Amino acid sequence: MVGLGLVLAVASLTFVLLNLAPGDPARFWVGPGAGEPELAAARRALGLDRPLAARYLSWLGEFLRGRWGLSLTQQRPVSSIILDALPHTLVLTSLSLLATYLGGIILGLIQAVKQRSALDTGLTVATLFVLGMPSYWLAIMLVLVFAYGAAQFGWPEWLHFPALGVSSFNAPFLSPAARAADRVRHLILPLATLSLIGAAGTARYVRSAVLEVREREFVRTARAKGLPSRAVLIGHVLRNSLLPVITLLGLSLPMLFSGTVFVEVVFGWPGMGRVMVDAVGARDYPVVMATTAIFGVLVVAGNAAADLLYLVVDPRLREAHR
C-alpha cells in the first residue's frame, strides 16, 4: 500500500507540474499556423478544456484499467511506445546495477583485505577521483576518448566504441554473432557512465563496512574455532557487511533511474528516459504520465526486491518472519 501511494503521489505531482508548465499541447497538434478556432477545437478533442482535477481523475481511471491513451505527437498508443522503449531501459539499468554493486563489492573487499597497503591507497585515490566526477562530464569524456579520440589517433578497434544508438546502421545485414557483438559495443559507454561513479561509491561503503565487521566478536570467535581465513572472510565478514549495502541499493534506485534519463539522451539510447524527455518537450501528456508512473513502479519494485534480499542475507530476519 505504501508503494502504491508513492506511485500515485509521484504521478499526481507530475500531472500538476506538467499542466502548470508553459506550452500548449494543442499547438503541437494543429501546427504553428493554426488560428484560435482550430486551437479551441483541438483542446476540446484532447479534453484540455476540462478542469484539471477532472482530467487527472479521468487519466488515473483509464491508466489503472490499462488504457493509456494515444500519444499526442506520434498518434500511436502509449502502451506501444512504452513496450518499444522499456526493454532498452531495463537492459541498461539491470546491467548497471550488476556492474555497480559487483564491481564495488569486489573493490571494497580488496581494499579492506589490503588495508593500508599501496594497493589500498591507490584504489582509494582512484575511487575518490571517480566520485568527484560529474556524470555529464564523465559521459562527455568517455565519448571524446573512446569514440572520437580512438578513431582519430588510430587506436585498436577493440578500444573504439560507438557513441550513439543501440546498433550500427548495417546491423540487420550482420551475422547473429556480429550483431550481438555490435549491440555490446554500443552498450559499453552508457553502461560505464552509469556504473563507474556508483561502483566507486559502493567500494568506499563496502570497505568501511568490512573493516567494521571484521573487528566484531563473532568474527574473532570464528577465527578461534580454526575456520579458514577465506571462510571467515566470505561467510562471516562479507555476508554481514552486505546488510548496509542492501540499504544503499534501495536508496540508489531513484538516482539510477534519473541517471538513466540523462544517459539515454546523451547517448541516443532509445529507452524510456529519452521517450520521456522528448514527450516533455512536446507537452505529450499521456506519454509523460505513463513513463513517470512506470518509473515509479520500477523504483518501488526495486525497493521491495532489496527487502527480500535482507531475508536472503540475514537468517535472523528469516526466523522472525516464520
297-310 pLDDT, tens digit each: 888 877 777 777 77
Q: For cell 568490512, what's the residue?
A: 210
* C-alpha distances in Å from residue 3, one per residue of 62, 214, 304: 20, 36, 9
pLDDT score for 99: 92
Mean pLDDT of the chain, nearest integer: 81
Topology classification of domain 82-320? MetI-like fold (1.10.3720)
Q: Collect all residues with Cβ–Cβ distance below 8 Å to 205 and sequence separation of at least 6.
A: 104, 108, 244, 245, 248
Phi, psi angles (nearest 5°) of residue 77: -60, 135
Q: What is the pLDDT of residue 190?
A: 92
Distance CA 291, CA 253 (A): 16
**pLDDT 10s digits, 241-273:** 887 787 777 777 777 777 888 888 889 888 888
- State pLDDT tens for residues 149-165: 766 777 777 778 888 88
| Proportion of the chain above pLDDT 90, given as a percent | 11
Confidence of residue 125 (pLDDT cuts 50, 70, 90): very high
Residue whose C-alpha cell is 500500500: 1
Instruction: Please give the helix or strand (H or E) that residue 239 lies within, else none.
Output: helix 239-266
Q: Is the dihedral of CA 255, 122, 95, 81 positive or negative?
A: positive
The domain spans of the chain are 2-64, 82-320
pLDDT at 316 over 70: no
d(CA 144, CA 74): 33
pLDDT at residue 134, as a whole number: 85
pLDDT over 70 (residue 230):
yes
Residue 195 has pLDDT above 80, yes or no: yes
Buried b (16+ CB within 10 A) or exposed e, 96-117: bbebbbebbbebbbbbbbeeee
Distance between CA atoms of residues 271 and 191, nearest Å = 13
What's the pLDDT tens digit per position in 173-194?
Answer: 778 888 888 888 889 999 999 8
Asked whether the predicted pLDDT for residue 75 surpasses 60, the reply is yes
